[in-house]
Structure 1
Amino acid sequence: MVNFVELRDAKFDGWRDFAAAWSKATTRLHDLETSFRAGVNDVVEQAGWKGISAQTADKDLERVVRQIAISAMQAQSIGSAADQAAAEMPVIQNALLTVVREAEAAGIKVSESGGGYVLDTAAPRGAEGGGAAPGDPARMQSLLDEFKRRLDTIIRQACEVDDKLAGVLAGLNPSDVAATALNSWENAQEDARRVAALHGVNGLPKDMDPAGSAAWWGGLTEEQRRLYLSSYPHEIGSMDGIPAADRDKANRRALDARLADLSGRPLSDGEFREIKNLQAIESALTKNGTCAADDSGILLLKFGNKFLDGQVVMSIGNPDLARHTAILVPGTNTDVAGGLEGQMKRLDKIQDASDRLTPQAGDVASVFWLDYDAPEASFGGIDKPWESKVSSVVGWDRSQEGAPRLDTFVGGLRAQSTDHHISVVAHSYGSSLLGDAGRKGDGIAVDDMIVVGSPGTHTDSADDLHIDPRHFWAEVADNDGIPGLGAASHAGWQAEHGKTLPHDKDFGGNRLVASPGDHSSYWSMNGDQPESSLENQARVIMGLYDDPNPARRPELEHGRLPTASKP
C-alpha cells in the first residue's frame, strides 16, 4: 500500500538501475545455460560415457541446467516487473505533484497527516482564476471534493502498480530452483506470465498467417519479445513466421518444461511414447550442440505430440541466414523415437554435400520436417501376405492433412527472407505430401522440388504443381521397387500412357541420374564423396543450373536444365 507522503517523497532514480541489474543477471544466466549445455552436458554426451555412473551424472548435469534456466526465468520476472514499475511510478508521482500545485493555486492547501493528506482553505488564493470567492462556500466545497477525488485516484493508481510488483516478488519461490520439478517450471512460467501482463503481453494474437506473425513479432519491443519467449515458449516456438533463432530458444525451454513434466511420475501409454520421442529430440540436440543465430549448429523449430509417432522440425544451420535452404520431408514408417537419428544422418549428408559446392561455408541450411503423421506399413512377404498392413500408406489422408503445414512452414521462411533459394527433398510418401501442397491453391513457395523414390504426387504432370517443370526433379534407383508398388495409389494417369510416375518422361519434369541402389540409397557416400544421387540433389539445392563449369551442373537422364534465375 502506497500513501500520499510516500508517493510525494519517493526517489525513483535508482529503480531503473535496479531493473537493469536484474536484466543483466538474466542475460548472464541465459548465457550460462547455453554455455553449460554446449561446454559440459554436450561434451559428456559426445564422449560416449556409458553405464550407471554415466546415467547418474547425466541426470545431475541436466538438473543443474534446469536450475540455471529456472533462475533465469525468475530473474527476468523480477527485472521486468521492476522496469515496468520504474516506468509507471514517476509518471504517477508527477501527476500527484501537479494536482497539489493546482490546488494551492486555487486557494486550497494540501497538508500531510500521518502519511495521508488533508485539504483546507487556509492557504491564500492564487493570483490566477479558478478559486472560489470568500463568500461562496458551496463553490469552495466543490473544489475540495474535486481535488480530493483526483488525489485519491492517483494514489489508488500507485497502489495498483505497487501491488502488481509486490505480487510478482511474493510469488517467487527460491525452492523452485532447487526442485526443478513440474510445479517449479509451472510456477516460474506463471510468474513470467504475470509480469508479461504488466507490459501488455497477455495471450497471443490468433489466426495470423506467417507474414502476419513475422510483422507482429517484428513490431514488438525487445522486452516484449523476451517476455513472450518466457511466458509462451511452446506457442512461440511453433509459430511459422517467427525468426528461427527465437523459435529455437522458445522450443528448448518448452522441451525442458515438458520433459520435467513427464519425469518422475507414472505415465500413460501415450505419455510413454511422448517421452521417448522427446528424449530422441534432446539426444539429437545434444549430439549437434546448441546453436547461436549465426552458426551451423542445430535449431529446434518445432516439436509436438499431436501424433503418437511425434512431431519435430529441426534445422542444421539457420534458414533465415543461409542463401540456400533444403527441406527434407520423409516418408513411410518415419517416427521420432526410432527414426530421428537416422534421418538426421541423412540431413547431415545433404548439408555437407551442398555446402562443399560453394567456397563460402554456411551458405546452406538443411531442415528435417516431420510435421505430419507419416503412414505405417509392414509387409508379410510372399509367404504371409495376409500379415501386411498398408491401409494408411495407400491412402491420401495423411498427405492431404500434412500438406497445409508444409506450405505454412515454407511461408514462414519466406516471411523472414523473400530472396532465399528454397528446395524440398521429398522421399517416398513424403513426395505425395509435397504433391498435395503443390497442387492446392497457388502452390507452395519453393524454388525447386526434388522427389526421390516417389510413388506419385497425385497428379500426372509437373505442370499441375504450380512450378516451372524445369524446376521439378525426380530420382529413382534401379532397385527401388517402391515407386512401382505405390503407383496404383499415388501416381497420375494419362490416357495415352496409363499410370505416370514423376520420373517418367511424360510427367514433364527432369529426371536426375541416380546411383545404383534401393529405396534407402539416395544419400549414399563413396568414401568421403557423395554418390550420384546425393551429389545431384546438392547441385539442385545450390542452384547450379548454369554453372560455368558444366561438370558442376545437375546430371540428367532426361529433361531441361533451368537457368539460375527464377522462371
Structure 2
Amino acid sequence: MPGTGAKASNIGDDIDRADRMFNRARLSGAQDPAVITWVGYDTPPTPVDIGGHLDPTNWDVADASNQKYADAGADALDKFQAGLRATHDGGPSYNTVVAHSYGTTLVGDAAAHGRTLDANAVALVASPGTTVDYASDLHLTGIPEDQTPKHVYVTTADHDPIQVAQALQPFGMDPQDNRFGATKFSSDPGQTDWTYLTKPAHSEYWDIVNGKPNKALVNLGDIIAGREPTAK
C-alpha cells in the first residue's frame, strides 16, 4: 500500500508497481499470485518539494509525521486483510502486505496496540517508523510471537530522503536499526547528486531500468512468493 500523497485519483503508478510485483512473484515461484493495490485510508498530504528534493525542515508542515492518519486507517486495513482470509477458496493462501513510506506506519499501527494483522509477512519499504520500537511488538495472525521478526522485512535505499524521518523517529525506532529486529533486504541505492539524498530515490524501488529490475523489486517478488530475499 502507498503512503503520503496517495489517493484514488493518482493510483496509476501504484497499479504499475502491483503489476511488476505480480510478475516478479511468478518468477520467484508463486504458482497463482494476486496483487491488490489498497488505498483504503486517508493519507497525509504530499511533503513540500524544493527543486526535486524533500525539504526536511518542512516534514512537520506536510503533516507526514502525524500518526492520526495511521490511527484512523488501522481498523480498515485489519478488516480488509481479515476479509481476504474469509473469502479465500481452496487451501490456505500465503498473504504478504507490502507497504511504502507512510503506508508502513499504517501497517505497524494495524499490527500492534491490541490489534493483529491477518498476514503471513509484511515488507516495509522506506519506512519512517511503525509506531512500535521492535518487530517483536507486531502481531501477525497465526504467526507465533517469537517468530514474528522473521516475517517482517525492511529496506531503505542509500539515497532515500526518508532517512531524515528515520533519524527523527516520529513513529518509534527506525526499522532499519538492527535493534528493531526485522529482516533486511537489499535495494538499489537510488539516484543521487551533490545533496546525496534525492526525491527520486524514494520511489525507485519498483523501477526496471534497461531491462534490469531494482534489487528491491526482485526481493519483493521473493517475499510475496514466501521465499527469503535473493538479490544482494
Question: Shared topology, TM-score over 0.5?
Answer: yes
RMSD value, Cα: 2.4
CA distance, structure 2, for counterparts of residue 371 and residue 459 of structure 1: 22
What's 1:334 paired with?
Answer: 6
The answer to which structure, 1 or 2, has the higher relative contact order (CA under 8 A, 6+ apart) is: 2
What's 2:97 paired with?
Answer: 424
**Deviation >4 Å, runs of 4+:** 384-389
1:509-531: CA deviations, max 9, x gaps? 11101112111111011433422
Question: How far is 1:504 from its partner?
Answer: 1.4
What's 2:22 paired with?
Answer: 351
1:99-114 correspondence runs (5 A): none
Q: 1:352 to 1:404 in 2, by over 3 A?
A: same
1:330 aligned partner, one-letter code: P
Q: Which residue of 402, 409, 415 corresponds with 2:86?
A: 415
Alignment partner of 1:481 is 2:179:
no
- The count of aligned residue pairs is 210
Q: Is contact 2:67–2:171 with CA below 8 Å preserved after alignment?
A: no
1:330-409 correspondence runs (5 A): 330-337=2-9, 339-358=10-29, 360=31, 363-379=32-48, 381=50, 390-409=61-80
Q: 1:411 to 1:389 in 2, by over 3 A?
A: same
Larger radius of gyration between Structure 1 and Structure 2: 1
Question: How far is 1:544 from its partner?
Answer: 1.8
Q: 1:389 to 1:454 in 2, by over 3 A?
A: closer
Long gaps (5+) in structure 2: 141-147, 191-200
Q: 1:471 to 1:535 in 2, by over 3 A?
A: same
Q: Is contact 1:377–1:388 with CA below 8 Å preserved after alignment?
A: no
Long gaps (5+) in structure 1: 1-328, 493-499, 546-552, 557-567
2:103 aligned partner, one-letter code: G
Question: How far is 1:466 from its partner?
Answer: 1.4
Question: How far is 1:345 from its partner?
Answer: 1.1
Alignment partner of 1:543 is 2:215:
no
1:152-551 correspondence runs (5 A): 329-337=1-9, 339-358=10-29, 360=31, 363-379=32-48, 381=50, 390-417=61-88, 419-467=92-140, 468-485=148-165, 487-488=167-168, 490-492=170-172, 500-517=173-190, 518-545=201-228
CA distance, structure 2, for counterparts of residue 506 and residue 387 of structure 1: 28
1:485 aligned partner, one-letter code: A
Question: How far is 1:388 from its partner?
Answer: 7.3
1:299-350: CA deviations, max 9, x gaps? xxxxxxxxxxxxxxxxxxxxxxxxxxxxxx100011222x211111111111
Q: 1:334 to 1:380 in 2, by over 3 A?
A: closer
1:36-55 correspondence runs (5 A): none
CA distance, structure 1, for counterparts of residue 206 and residue 134 of structure 2: 26
Question: How far is 1:442 from its partner?
Answer: 4.3
Alignment partner of 1:554 is 2:227:
no
Q: 1:386 to 1:411 in 2, by over 3 A?
A: closer
Question: How far is 1:392 from its partner?
Answer: 2.6
Alignment partner of 2:76: what SS?
A: helix
CA distance, structure 1, for counterparts of residue 17 and residue 48 of structure 2: 24
Question: How far is 1:380 from its partner?
Answer: 6.0
| TM-score normalised over the length of structure 2 | 0.82
Question: How far is 1:480 from its partner?
Answer: 0.4
1:28-107 correspondence runs (5 A): none
Question: How far is 1:433 from its partner?
Answer: 0.3
1:245-294: CA deviations, max 9, x gaps? xxxxxxxxxxxxxxxxxxxxxxxxxxxxxxxxxxxxxxxxxxxxxxxxxx
CA distance, structure 2, for counterparts of residue 390 and residue 486 of structure 1: 17
What's 2:197 paired with?
Answer: none
1:205-239: CA deviations, max 9, x gaps? xxxxxxxxxxxxxxxxxxxxxxxxxxxxxxxxxxx
Tell me the percent identity: 32
Q: Is contact 1:428–1:452 with CA below 8 Å preserved after alignment?
A: yes
1:525 aligned partner, one-letter code: I
CA distance, structure 1, for counterparts of residue 111 and residue 218 of structure 2: 25
Q: 1:488 to 1:387 in 2, by over 3 A?
A: closer
CA distance, structure 2, for counterparts of residue 534 and residue 385 of structure 1: 27
CA distance, structure 2, for counterparts of residue 388 and residue 465 of structure 1: 26
Q: 1:486 to 1:373 in 2, by over 3 A?
A: farther
